[in-house]
Amino acid sequence: MKTCEHCRYWSQMCAQSIGCGPIEALCLADGGPYSSRYVTAAMSCAALASDHFGKVDDPPNYGEHSRAAYEAEEGSGRSS
Protein backbone atom coordinates (compact mmCIF):
# COMPACT_ATOMS: atom_id res chain seq x y z
CA MET A 1 0.00 0.00 0.00
CA LYS A 2 1.08 3.56 -0.63
CA THR A 3 0.50 4.94 2.88
CA CYS A 4 2.78 6.25 5.61
CA GLU A 5 2.29 3.06 7.63
CA HIS A 6 4.20 1.19 4.90
CA CYS A 7 6.87 3.86 4.39
CA ARG A 8 10.44 3.33 5.65
CA TYR A 9 10.40 6.87 7.07
CA TRP A 10 7.36 6.35 9.37
CA SER A 11 9.18 6.20 12.70
CA GLN A 12 9.13 3.02 14.76
CA MET A 13 10.56 4.85 17.75
CA CYS A 14 8.62 8.15 17.89
CA ALA A 15 4.88 7.63 17.96
CA GLN A 16 1.94 9.07 19.86
CA SER A 17 -1.81 8.89 20.23
CA ILE A 18 -3.68 11.91 21.55
CA GLY A 19 -6.74 10.84 23.52
CA CYS A 20 -8.36 7.98 21.65
CA GLY A 21 -7.15 9.24 18.27
CA PRO A 22 -5.19 7.29 15.69
CA ILE A 23 -1.53 6.44 16.17
CA GLU A 24 0.72 9.10 14.67
CA ALA A 25 4.42 8.60 14.04
CA LEU A 26 7.19 11.05 13.29
CA CYS A 27 8.06 11.38 9.60
CA LEU A 28 11.79 10.93 9.05
CA ALA A 29 11.77 11.61 5.28
CA ASP A 30 14.56 14.14 4.86
CA GLY A 31 13.14 16.98 2.75
CA GLY A 32 9.67 15.41 2.51
CA PRO A 33 6.56 17.58 2.92
CA TYR A 34 5.84 16.09 6.38
CA SER A 35 9.46 15.80 7.55
CA SER A 36 9.75 16.15 11.34
CA ARG A 37 5.95 16.17 11.73
CA TYR A 38 3.64 13.54 13.19
CA VAL A 39 1.52 11.81 10.53
CA THR A 40 -1.15 9.13 10.67
CA ALA A 41 -0.71 5.70 9.11
CA ALA A 42 -3.28 6.47 6.39
CA MET A 43 -1.50 9.55 5.05
CA SER A 44 0.76 9.58 1.98
CA CYS A 45 3.13 11.91 0.14
CA ALA A 46 5.64 12.08 -2.71
CA ALA A 47 8.54 11.14 -0.37
CA LEU A 48 6.97 7.76 0.45
CA ALA A 49 9.45 4.88 0.06
CA SER A 50 8.85 1.14 0.50
CA ASP A 51 9.75 -0.35 3.88
CA HIS A 52 10.60 -3.81 2.52
CA PHE A 53 13.83 -3.90 4.59
CA GLY A 54 12.16 -2.28 7.62
CA LYS A 55 11.93 1.23 9.00
CA VAL A 56 14.99 3.49 9.05
CA ASP A 57 14.85 3.58 12.87
CA ASP A 58 13.82 -0.04 13.59
CA PRO A 59 14.68 -1.35 17.03
CA PRO A 60 16.86 -2.78 18.42
CA ASN A 61 19.68 -1.21 16.35
CA TYR A 62 17.86 2.00 15.38
CA GLY A 63 17.76 1.07 11.69
CA GLU A 64 21.46 0.43 11.20
CA HIS A 65 20.85 -2.72 9.14
CA SER A 66 17.82 -1.47 7.23
CA ARG A 67 19.52 1.82 6.26
CA ALA A 68 22.56 -0.12 5.02
CA ALA A 69 20.30 -2.42 2.97
CA TYR A 70 18.51 0.56 1.36
CA GLU A 71 21.83 2.27 0.57
CA ALA A 72 23.18 -0.93 -1.02
CA GLU A 73 19.97 -1.38 -3.05
CA GLU A 74 19.95 2.22 -4.26
CA GLY A 75 23.63 1.97 -5.14
CA SER A 76 22.92 -1.10 -7.28
CA GLY A 77 20.50 0.90 -9.45
CA ARG A 78 17.29 -0.70 -8.19
CA SER A 79 14.48 1.61 -7.14
CA SER A 80 11.86 0.96 -4.49
What's 12's DSSP letter? E
Q: What is the pLDDT of residue 78?
A: 57
Residue partners of 5: CB distance under 8 A and separation at least 6: 41, 42
> Which of helix, strand or coil describes residue 10?
strand
Q: Give the Cα separation of 27 and 9 in Å (integer).
A: 6
Can you give the residue ranges of every domain in the chain?
4-75
pLDDT in 10s for each residue of the chain, 80 residues: 799 999 999 998 999 999 999 999 999 999 999 999 999 999 999 999 999 999 999 988 889 999 999 999 998 765 54
Where in the chain does DSSP place strands (E)?
A: 10-16, 24-27, 38-40
Report the predicted TM-score, pTM, of the whole model to 2 decimal places. 0.84
